Amino acid sequence: MALMSYAQAAAEALAAAMRADSRIVALGEDLGRGGVFGQYRAAAPDGSLRPLQQEFGAERVIDTPISEANIMGAAVGMALAGLKPVVEMRVIDFALCAMDELVNQAAKNRYMFGGQGRVPLVARMPIGIWSASAAQHSQSLEAWFAHLPGLAVVCPATPQDNYGLLTAALASGDPVVYLEHKELWSLQGEVDPAQPVPLGNARIARAGKDLTLVTWSRTLHESLAAAETLAREGIAVEVIDLRTLWPWDRATVLDSCAKTKRLFVAHEAVQVAGFGAEIAAAVAEEVGCPVKRLGAPRIPVGYAPTLEAEARVDAAKIASAVCAWLGAGH
């Protein structure tokens, strides 16, 4: 076990995979200096963090021009030619320039050509509100990608999961949309490199009997804080970190809802057509218990702190919504 940040955990996972498999390459802007958030800096023998390019060279950790379409298109070609590229889009908002290459090429190649080609590509596209960065740098678009056949969609919430899930994504052999959160990079936590975190397995982050709360990414931490508040009100909330949106762990969620008889889904993305609706519908169909969702309002994220706060789904809003729903008062 080692204490490391969310950013370093991903860098260490990538470094370990690159040492084990010479086909893995990384490409994107600013990778030579370790990435803009330090997510390409791993521990050196002296304990300092150094850019991965220093160990693997500029042919495997590639600095690219500022052209997302070029970066993604090159990566798709690399993958079809036998490499395993990690594509750095900096933030998901910038990745919108590369949608054709990801949606129409990477996601569909294996199907359209009868499995003759595969695209073992991992696209790192950080999601979520980025404080004081406004509407074009603060989007959570995970539902877009969960909707698309051919893509796996991953949302790590902890350093351990950022290590384990990136390792699993690199080994999957298919295109993975890997959605780290922009405000979790400095989060510290214990990481066990030997602990596998398979794609498609949720984690029960807190046990409870009165209500199942399903969430992912940064909203996990807000949900756990809300569950602590609700415990003081006598409400025992079971918090499930979905971790992977596609494939998502139906069995764990359905089993929990069958026990608690209620489902509450919370996510930072806009509530309208968010992935929470898919979970709520599945639970309503399979278990038949009451369901409720809490997501962001359908507004652009504002630059002013007061406007930004309106778009945040925080612990207080989650706890208040649960109390109002259950009639407990808050």
Domains, the chain, with CATH or none = 2-191 (3.40.50.970), 203-326 (3.40.50.920)
Q: What is the pLDDT of residue 329?
A: 43
Task: Report, as an integer, the average pLDDT of 88-103.
Answer: 96
For a pLDDT cut of 70, what percent of the chain falls above it?
A: 99
The answer to whether residue 40 scores a pLDDT higher than 70 is: yes
User: By the 8 A CB rule, do 48 and 82 touch?
Assistant: no
Whole-number Å distance between alpha carbons of 3 and 323: 36
Residues marked active site are found at: 137
| Peptide bond connecting 247 to the previous residue in cis, omega within 30 degrees of 0 | yes
The answer to whether residue 330 scores a pLDDT higher than 60 is: no
The answer to whether residue 271 scores a pLDDT higher than 90 is: yes
pLDDT digits (tens, 9 = 90+) for 128-175: 999 999 999 999 999 999 999 999 999 999 999 999 999 999 999 999
Task: Report, as an integer, the average pLDDT of 194-201.
Answer: 97
Within 13 Å, how many C-alpha atoms sit on residue 100's CB side?
A: 5
pLDDT digits (tens, 9 = 90+) for 42-60: 999 898 999 999 999 999 9
Whole-number Å distance between alpha carbons of 158 and 9: 9
